[in-house]
Amino acid sequence: MDKKKAAAERAVEFVQSGMVVGLGTGSTAYFAIEALGRRVKEGLDITGVATSIGTELLAKKFGVPLVSLDEVKLIDITIDGADEVDPQFNLIKGMGGALLREKIVAYASLEEIIVVDDSKLVDVLGTCSPLPIEVAPFGHKLTKTALEDLGCQARLKGGEKPLKTDNGNLIYECKFEQIEDPEFLEIEIHLIPGVVESGLFIDLATKVVIGQEGGTQLRAKN
């Protein structure tokens, strides 16, 4: 079985009737939404909260009932993908452009289960993936310069035809050599006016399900 699919389907086993479930965005989260849809048809009684307009459409397609985040007090479990995962479960997320809603949903979640294939595991964040940062369109070139002053090379997602996020913002993909101190970098990024949110997810993931050769591996935070 596809590694991403295997990880997503294992994560879905944690979902029980009565739960509010955060629905992630991306090709791995896709398999989780598909599997949840199958379980809903078999009688699982859940309500989903989507992390993007794309995910909202998928949930409707697969028959997962939806509510908006403002209609719930908290989320029991969110299942979402990631671009990189370090040994402390810190993440880079947002290469699919949905990081702002994903981070708001993760923050509201009792459990944040990250589903990845084993190519996403790194010792130090920034090793493979750039860090996506959502910025306001107003003055975004100055925001880019301020981001580059932190030691990265920033590229506007979409280039000549910039991608607009579901929130009407832009994304800069910021390539750092290696992010040795993600907590400190997160503070520095948020000090820049114009930054809406960064794709650093620190201390939010509670479990990681890894799809690998021959099956899946579950890692849980104590």
In the complex, what is the shortest distance from the CB of residue 201 to ligand 5RP, in angstroms, rounded to a whole number?
9
Question: In the annotation, is 102 catalytic?
Answer: yes
Question: Hey, what are 216's tokens?
Answer: 């899946």
Say whether 83 sits in a helix, a strand or coil: coil
- Say whether residue 27 binds ligand 5RP (CB under 6 A): yes
- Say whether residue 22 binds ligand 5RP (CB under 6 A): no
String marking each residue 86-125 x if it binds ligand 5RP according to CB under 6 A: -------xxxxxxx--x-----------------------
**CB-nearer residue toward ligand 5RP: 85 or 185:** 85
**CB-nearer residue toward ligand 5RP: 30 or 40:** 30
Is the distance from CB of 98 to CB of 51 less than 8 angstroms?
A: yes
Q: How far apart are CA 204 and CA 108, in angstroms?
A: 10
Q: How far apart are CA 69 and CA 66, in angstroms?
A: 9
- Quick one: which of 165, 61, 3 has its CA closest to 23? 61
Crossing angle of helices 53-62 and 27-41, rounded to 10°: 30
Q: Are strands 195-198 and 131-135 parallel, antiparallel or unpaired?
A: antiparallel
- Say whether residue 28 binds ligand 5RP (CB under 6 A): yes
- Say whether residue 126 binds ligand 5RP (CB under 6 A): no
Q: Are strands 20-23 and 47-50 parallel, antiparallel or unpaired?
A: parallel
String marking each residue 48-87 x if it binds ligand 5RP according to CB under 6 A: --------------------------------xxxx----
Point out the catalytic residue in the list 9, 102, 173, 197.
102
**CB-nearer residue toward ligand 5RP: 18 or 158:** 158
DSSP 120: G
Contacting positions for ligand 5RP (CB under 6 A): 24-29, 80-83, 93-99, 102
Active site (catalytic) residues: 102
